[in-house]
Amino acid sequence: MKKKLITLSLVVMMLPALLSAQKVVCKIKGSDTCLPLSQRFSEAFMKKAPGSSISVIGGGSGVGLSALISGTTDIAQSSRSIKMDEKMKLQDAGKVLKETTIAFDALAIIVNPANKVSQLTREQLEGIFTGKITNWKQVGGDDLQIIVYSRESSSGTFDFMKEHVMSNKNYAKTALMMPATGAVVQSVSQTKGAIGYVGLAYLEKGVKALKVSFNKGKTYTEPSIETAKSKTYPITRPLHYYYLGSIEGKIKPLINFILSAEGQAIVLKEGYVPLN
Amino acid sequence: MKMNYPLTKKKLFFAATFAFLTLGFTANAQETGPVSNPTDTIYPIVEQAQSDLAVLKRLKITGYVQADYQKADTAGIASFADGNFGSGINNRMLVRRGRVKFAYDNELSQAVLQLDITEKGVGIKDAYLSLTEPWLKTLAVTGGVMDRPFGNEIAYSSSSLESPERSRIIQTLFPGEKDLGGMISLQAPKTSPWNFIRLDAGYFDGNGAAVETDSKKDFIGHLFLGKASSSEKFKWGIGGSYYNGGFAQVTTNYYTMVKDANGVEGYAKSTVTKGAIAKRQYVGVDAQLSLDWALGITQLRAEYLQGTQPGSSSSNASLTAAMVGDTYSRKFNGYYAYFIQNILQTPVQLVVKYDVYDPNTDVSGNNIGKAVVAGNVKTGAADVKYSTLGLGINYRWNSNVKIMAYYDMVTNETTSLITTPSTLTNLAKDRKDNVFTLRLQYKF
């Protein structure tokens, strides 16, 4: 009995030390698409591991990866794969790169709710975003000029849209480049002829998500977690955390938490697509 | 009536003291009135600091130091691994490069000054300004001392180069890499579909970063196309270069290669006007491939050049000062190829490089140095072809430090007709002129 009491006392005394060993102090910077998710991860983790301090900043995938290269962030959150030039810069600096996929995201094409167009093919989207199609009447809508809103070139979403929807063609010269996803949502909600693209988690009542067809109009699919999970929605992409091997041990509890059932439940709740 | 003077004085004293103290407190109370909002005080300070920082961020100071230890096979050999070894010397320590670069970037305008500081002295590497037009942000004009816009290896930063030195052909034709001149650059912004094309072209003195010695200006141009795959696993680049220039001859004798009546290649003299321009003309192609695969990032880089090079009887190198003596014109060719393998995600990088320079393609082997008919001049050491195989390993310690170990194996063309007692100049056999370089580089 005495032995049990001593053991129990030892465990109780060591508990704060054990908990604090799980604490993580780090900076996450980069993708605006990942931003809401990273914020929820950090809030939930900081509650579980007192003493942790995790700061989360947006700015775009390119900004996050630049910060990782220059050593001013611990984790670069990214909605695109790291570029070869970025990888070579890290290697030239003697840094070992690690990558973890944290979730998937569906890219939603959004228009103003007053727009009667509700579905477009990939070819029509390419035409609109490259500036070849300039009026909604050309795609079955009202006689109204199309105003294209895009993210800036530092955004992983900008790259993903260009590669997967626009066949790598360049954006229209008249496209308005917005610094953040929130700005795209706000602009589209306030402009009747506007069109833009955002991650699924940014959909709100002020904008309408279009159904998209990647088989020349045979079938159209609406963006949702279910269609992204079932891979019937064609514009989905992985979201990554990039970090250096030298801090892998330090942030392991956070990464383990994100990949756990609890972390993936947060993914689902925030409107992203879980890994499993 | 007797006045109670002392008491009055005391009362006066206390009254004055009381009044003084009261006034002091009142003044203090007025000074410490309602506290203003702290952000009203902080905001202008922060704004000023941000403004100052924005100005300071325009100036970037970077640089690197390369400290080498070198060991040659033979004391006193001629070498392209940072110059010849002194008489009787077969190993040395040196500061190969000590660069400091100041770059002021004001978005559409830029000024750059780069110095090289070593035990050999201080020299200018870059001193130029660049202006970009504000409308399309496609056209830039640059003037001053800058990299010659030819090929790939010239403009490749010496701090990033995977071998200790550039190829023999590049060092010979473009000593010091830099020249004094003016250049235009055309490249569309990153958001344009034409961003993968770049043209650099301009007119230069042709003497390197040195004072001009004649009125002839040399045209140098490079057209480059390059792209990465959408998966970012594969990247390619291809370029074409052209050099058209020359220098004013200081004598009336101009020698070109001919086959004489006996079928022997040698130099025949022709008479030219003093000051006539000796032609210097090159064409080049360059290509680069990068592949990110299971073993890590693999890079292949290659460049081929050919053309006409004016020199002297004993040298095929480009001038960095006024010509002295008669001009000898040679047709040349050469190339280099790099194979670079980054080992997985580690800091280790393996390098294999092969370069060839044939300064005179009209003669080879045992025909070099062969006697010619009277009036002609026989070929010599300046007409001998060299090939170099380099093997190296780089270790990127961190973002500042790189360690390089590299071995150059040099092979010269042999001719039984150029035999000398000294092994340093004898060309009957392959000279023992391999060089091992151990380099420590610190970059900031």
Residue A113 shares a structural domain with residue A202 = yes
Question: Does B293 contact chain A (CB < 8 Å)?
Answer: no
User: Confidence class of residue A225 from pLDDT cuts 50, 70 and 90?
Assistant: confident
Q: Is the pLDDT of residue A20 over 60?
A: no
Q: Is the pLDDT of residue B264 over 70?
A: yes
Q: What tens digit of pLDDT does each residue of B348-372 get?
A: 999 999 999 999 999 999 999 999 9
In the prediction, which pLDDT does A129 show? Answer: 96
Q: Is the pLDDT of residue B82 over 90?
A: no
Which chain A residues are closer than 8 Å to B192 by Cβ?
170
Q: What tens digit of pLDDT does each residue of B96-137 get?
A: 999 999 999 998 999 999 999 999 899 999 999 999 999 989
Q: Is B234 helix (H, G, I), strand (E, B) or coil?
A: strand
Cβ(B248)–Cβ(B216) below 8 Å:
yes
Tokens of A23: 């604490």
Residue A101 shares a structural domain with residue A146 = no
Distant-in-sequence, close-in-space partners of A177: CB < 8 Å, separation ≥ 6: A150, A151, A152, A153
Number of residues assigned to chain B: 444
Nearest CA in chain A to B348: A94
Weakest-pLDDT range from B6-10, B355-359, B402-406: B6-10
Q: Is the dihedral of CA A224, A36, A171, A147 positive or negative?
A: positive
CB pairs under 8 A between A and B: 56
Task: Answer yes or no: do A94 and B191 touch at CB < 8 A.
Answer: no
* CA separation, residue A182 to residues A28, A61, A125 (Å): 19, 15, 21
In the prediction, which pLDDT does B12 show? Answer: 58
Q: Distance between CA atoms of B107 and B104, rounded to whole angstroms?
A: 9
- Please provide the DSSP assignment of B321-368 as one string: S---S-EEEEEEEEEEEEEEEE-TTSSEEEEEEEEEEES-TT--GGGT
Tokens of B332: 């040349």
Task: Answer yes or no: do B232 and A170 touch at CB < 8 A.
Answer: no
**What is the percent of chain B with per-residue pLDDT over 70, rounded to a whole number?**
91
Give the domain ranges of chain B: 61-443
Task: Answer yes or no: do A84 and B160 touch at CB < 8 A.
Answer: no
More confident residue, B23 or B143: B143
Whether residue A257 lies inside any domain: the answer is yes
Residue A82 shares a structural domain with residue A113 = no
For residue A121, the cross-strand partners are: A213
Task: Answer yes or no: do B292 and A91 touch at CB < 8 A.
Answer: no
Q: What is the mean pLDDT of residues B205-216?
A: 87
Q: Is the pLDDT of residue B40 over 80?
A: no
The minimal CB distance from A88 to the residues B230, B297, B401 is found for: B297
Q: What is the mean pLDDT of residues A22-41?
A: 93
> Average pLDDT over chain B, rounded to whole?
90
Weakest-pLDDT range from A95-104, B8-17, B281-290, B378-387: B8-17
**CATH number, domain containing residue A89:** 3.40.190.10
Instruction: Give chain A's domain count.
Output: 2
Task: Answer yes or no: do B292 and A84 touch at CB < 8 A.
Answer: yes
Q: Distance between CA atoms of B241 and B284, rounded to whole angstroms?
A: 5
More confident residue, B337 or A237: B337
Question: Does B19 contact chain A (CB < 8 Å)?
Answer: no
More confident residue, A234 or B425: A234
Q: What tens digit of pLDDT does each residue of A131-153 get?
A: 999 999 999 999 999 999 999 88
Domain assignment of residue A119, given as a range: 106-229
Report the predicted TM-score, pTM, of the whole model to 2 decimal places: 0.81
User: Confidence class of residue B268 from pLDDT cuts 50, 70 and 90?
Assistant: very high
Nearest CA in chain A to B394: A92
Residue A164 shares a structural domain with residue A118 = yes
Residue A133 shares a structural domain with residue A220 = yes
Q: What tens digit of pLDDT does each residue of A173-200 get?
A: 899 999 888 999 999 999 999 999 998 8
User: Confidence class of residue A15 from pLDDT cuts 50, 70 and 90?
Assistant: low
Task: Answer yes or no: do A84 and B193 touch at CB < 8 A.
Answer: no
Which chain B residues are closer than 8 Å to A81 by Cβ?
231-232
Residue A30 shares a structural domain with residue A129 = no
The predicted complex's ipTM stands at 0.74
Tokens of B275: 């000051």
In the prediction, which pLDDT does B26 show? Answer: 46
Weakest-pLDDT range from A177-186, A247-256, B207-216: B207-216
For residue B355, the cross-strand partners are: B336, B388
The minimal CB distance from B396 to the residues A87, A91, A153 is found for: A91
Residue A244 shares a structural domain with residue A180 = no
In the prediction, which pLDDT does A252 show? Answer: 95
Task: Answer yes or no: do B230 and A168 touch at CB < 8 A.
Answer: yes
Question: Does B87 contact chain A (CB < 8 Å)?
Answer: no
Whether residue A78 lies inside any domain: the answer is yes
In the prediction, which pLDDT does B92 show? Answer: 95
Q: Is the pLDDT of residue A12 over 70?
A: no
Residue A210 shares a structural domain with residue A242 = no
Q: Is the pLDDT of residue B19 over 80?
A: no
Q: What is the mean pLDDT of residues B83-95?
A: 93
Residue A143 shares a structural domain with residue A211 = yes
Measured between alpha carbons, how far apart are the two ends of chain B, in Å? 94
Task: Answer yes or no: do A84 and B342 touch at CB < 8 A.
Answer: no
Superfamily of domain covering B61-443: Porin (2.40.160.10)
Q: Is the pLDDT of residue B253 over 70?
A: yes
Chain A residues at the B interface, defined by Cβ less than 8 Å, are: 71, 81-85, 87-88, 91-97, 153, 163, 168-171, 245
Whether residue A211 lies inside any domain: the answer is yes
Measured between alpha carbons, how far apart are the two ends of chain A, in Å? 46
Whether residue A19 lies inside any domain: the answer is no
Nearest CA in chain B to A91: B347
| Buried-state track B181-217, b at ≥16 Cβ within 10 A, e below 16 | bebebebbeebbeeeeebebbbebbbbbbbeebbebb
User: Confidence class of residue B30 from pLDDT cuts 50, 70 and 90?
Assistant: very low
Task: Answer yes or no: do B232 and A83 touch at CB < 8 A.
Answer: yes
Q: What tens digit of pLDDT does each residue of B156-190 get?
A: 999 999 999 999 999 999 999 999 999 999 999 87
Q: Please tell me the distance in Å from B442's CA to the nearest CA on chain A.
A: 11
User: Confidence class of residue B22 from pLDDT cuts 50, 70 and 90?
Assistant: low
Q: Is A246 helix (H, G, I), strand (E, B) or coil?
A: helix
Q: Distance between CA atoms of A233 and A219, rounded to whole angstroms?
A: 10
In the prediction, which pLDDT does A10 show? Answer: 63
Distant-in-sequence, close-in-space partners of B98: CB < 8 Å, separation ≥ 6: B63, B64, B65, B66, B116, B117, B118
More confident residue, A10 or A256: A256
The minimal CB distance from B191 to the residues A71, A94, A171 is found for: A171
Q: Is the pLDDT of residue B6 over 60?
A: no
Whether residue A259 lies inside any domain: the answer is yes
Q: Is B13 helix (H, G, I), strand (E, B) or coil?
A: helix
Q: Give the DSSP H/E element, type plus range, for residue B17.
A: helix B5-31
